[in-house]
Structure formats: C-alpha cells, structure tokens
Amino acid sequence: MLKHHSALGLANALRPVQPVTIIRPHAARRAARFFVEKFQGRSIYAVKANPSPELITLLWESGITHFDVASIAEVRLVSRLLPDATLCFMHPVKAEEAIEEAYFTHGVRIFSLDTIEELEKILRATKNASDLTLCVRLRVSSDHSKLSLASKFGAAPHEAKELLFAARQAADALGICFHVGSQAMSPAAYVQALSHVRAAIVDAAVTVDVIDVGGGFPSIYPGMEPPPMEAYFKAIHEAFENLPVSYSAELWAEPGRALSAEYASLLVRVEKRRGDQLYINDGAYGALFDAAHVGWRFPVSLVRGEESDAKDMAFSFYGPTCDDMDHMAGPFMLPADTRPGDYIEIGMLGAYGCAMRTGFNGFTAGETAMLDDEPMASIYLSEDEDAAVSSNVITL
C-alpha cells in the first residue's frame, strides 16, 4: 500500500488517473478509543457503514469487541476476520436460513426483531434455543436526524406490549433497541427515544436486560456541526439511569458513521470544467452515492502545489459514467480557478463511501493510499489539538 504524509504528496508522486481511496488509520483508532473510554456502555460497530477488513481489524485492536452485522455475508466476514468477536445480528428481518447459519455455524446469540413473526422465525431457526439475547426494536422519531430511519423498521406503540412479553418468555436476556436516524444533530433525539422505551417497559411490565440506543452518532460535514460527542453520551446515560430496568442492565450503542467517517477520503481528478460544473473521475456509482442521491455535502479541498489566490465559488460535480444521474449538486466550495488536471480531496467518506461503490459503466476504484496527516474535519479533536494539527483540517 502507498504511504504518504499528505494528499498533495500523494498527487505529486502518483499523478493518478483513477480515484484514490485515502485512509487514515490513526483517525479510526482515535474514534474507537473515544467510544471505548467515554461511552458508559458497550460500543458495537455497525459494519454496514464500512465493511473494510482492514478497518474492522483496526477497530478490534482499538478495543471494539462487538459488531453489528446486518446480513449473513457480514456475519461470515467478521467471523472469519475475528473469531473471538461478539456478533449482533441486528437486522429486524432476516432469512430463516441466515439465522440458522449465524447461530449454529458462527455462534451468534444476539438477534433483533420487530414482529411476532420474526420472533417465531428466530425460535424455529435456532431450534428453540435457550441462550438467546433478543432485542425488540421500537419505532421512534427521526425528527432530529438528517436521514430518517423511522418508516421501515420498528414495532409501533400498540404492538410493543405483546411483542415484549412474548420475547421475554423466549429470551435468556431481553433487550430493547431503536434507531433515531442517521446523523442525529441533537442529543435530544436519544432522550426522546428513551422516553418511548420507558413507556413501553411500563406498559409491558417486563424485566429488561439490555438497552441499545442504536446508531445515529454524528460526524462533521459542511452545514452539519453537531454538539460535542460527550453531550450525546451524557444525555443518553442520564436517561438510561432513570429507566425501570434490571439493576444489572447493560447500555449498548451501535456507532457506524462516527467510527468510520474520518477513516477515509477520496482523491479525484478534474477531467473537464463547464462553468460551475466539474467533471471528476468518481461519482454517484462510486464513493459519492450520498452526495448524488441524498444531497450530502462533503468537505472538499483543492490539491495543488501552488496555492490559489482565487476566491472560492460553488461548484457541482458530474461523475465519470454516461448517466445524467451521476450528478452531485453540492454546492462544493473550491477556488474559482479550479481547472482540468487539478486534484481534489473529498473528505469524510469512510462512512458509506467505499461501501456503496459499484463497477457501473466500467469505472472502478483505483489504488488505496495511507496518509498520516489529519482528516479534513474531526469531532474528536479538542480545540488545542485542532489548533496544532496540519492546515488541511477544516474547522466547520
């Protein structure tokens, strides 16, 4: 793997024709240690955010021992990489064959569900196992988040009582889980959700052993500046402490974006300029799916040997395929003299970047390079640390 200090050094040395995935292992280690040391519960990495074997192994080495897997392919991947890891099969709708393989072949004992039918499926597939941790997923609001996850999964309030009672009878340990949506911009999202958890526990009158607050922990992007992560941890722990749960109940969380976003970015080349539109060599069918399809704005930086004196202006991007939908509206703020042949670093793509990449139209990923400088933004750096790092870090 290529190693450089900065994106500029990489661009000058390689002059890449294809997009280059940049990884910063130290950023992922820092994020993992932050959660392990400061979240007062169990941090479980949501593999879907970035299933890179290198990242999964790095997180394990940094203290993340539990992994949220959403498919049998993810179960197999983590089981192969980390035989001693604890796997939590947290997709609420699973194939019966996937449950059976997960339980009997890979030792999975933790499953989520949001219907009686799924509970019955789990029990059939595991032959009525007596060592299951069953986490009932409740439907909660995504009002405080940038991407909603409120419509597809989760038991509604009128369904929760029967489901919790039935799961309690079948489970060795009963959990309640939820997901407030991706990129939650306020700790209030979790406080509000935990109030629904309280109501469900009281209504069902069951003993609960696990409270899993799911994902949604944010990262920093242009126009999305969340409160400090400690504020989320504090609000969650205070609400958890006031729940009517078992004295030994565990608190879990499933960070995905928050553990992986700062790990990777992308170096792309400008192939053409048409006014305020830049044609680049990656796009909607590559690592920029979110920029194209949900209008996500990522930090960008012109990577050029000589500094530009031009003022920044708003650009949109077109990707390399022949598809008009391969368009990222942005706006992406870059110097007005950005031109063909220039390189651009697009940051914070460790989450849902490479994970969404396809080979459509024959455009695939290029090389991967490791850098030891800081990511373009970080939610984990203190003000003093932020002032001390290299100038490529953008304070948003």
Give the closest residue to 290 by CA, choosing from 118, 50, 64: 50
Domains of the chain from N-terminus onward: 2-23+263-388 (2.40.37.10), 26-260 (3.20.20.10)
Residue holding tokens 């490791």? 370
At 97, list the tokens: 């064959």
Please compute the mean of the pLDDT values over residues 112-118 and round it to a whole number.
97
pLDDT per position as a tens digit, 63-99: 999 999 999 999 999 999 999 999 999 999 999 999 9
Please compute the mean of the pLDDT values over residues 20-42 and round it to a whole number.
97
d(CA 357, CA 364): 8
pLDDT at 393 over 50: no
pLDDT at 388 over 70: no
Which of 88, 135, 177, 322 is catalytic? The answer is 322
pTM: 0.93
| Percent of all residues in the chain with a pLDDT value above 70, rounded to a whole number | 96
Instruction: Give the pLDDT of residue 383.
Output: 55
Backbone Cα Rg of the chain: 22
Is the backbone of residue 272 left (phi > 0), alpha (psi -120 to 50) or beta? Answer: beta
d(CA 386, CA 150): 35
pLDDT per position as a tens digit, 241-278: 999 998 899 999 999 999 999 999 999 999 999 999 99
| 222: Cβ contacts below 8 Å, ≥ 6 apart | 297, 298, 299, 333, 396
End-to-end CA distance of the chain: 31
d(CA 394, CA 301): 9
Instruction: Give the pLDDT of residue 385.
Output: 56
Residue holding tokens 């989320």? 232
At 333, list the tokens: 């703020």
Angle of helix 72-81 versus helix 53-61 axis, rounded to 10: 60
Say whether 322 is catalytic. yes
Burial of 306 (0-12, 13-18, 19+ CB in 10 A): exposed
d(CA 347, CA 100): 40
Strand partners, 66: 44, 86
pLDDT at 143 over 90: no
Q: Which residues of 79-104 are buried (b: 16+ CB within 10 A; e: fewer)?
A: beebeebbbbbbbbebeeebbbbbbe
Instruction: Give the pLDDT of residue 307.
Output: 86
**123 SS3 class:** helix
What residue spans of 188-312 are helical by DSSP H? 188-204, 229-241, 257-260, 289-293
CA angle centred on 383, ends 379 and 384, rounded to 5°:
130
Residue holding tokens 């050029």? 304
Residue holding tokens 């090389």? 367
pLDDT per position as a tens digit, 149-197: 777 888 999 999 999 999 999 999 999 999 998 999 999 999 999 999 9
Give the closest residue to 212 by CA, choosing from 244, 174, 172: 174
d(CA 334, CA 288): 17
d(CA 218, CA 302): 25
d(CA 42, CA 65): 9
> How high is the mean pLDDT of the chain?
93
Burial of 237 (0-12, 13-18, 19+ CB in 10 A): middle
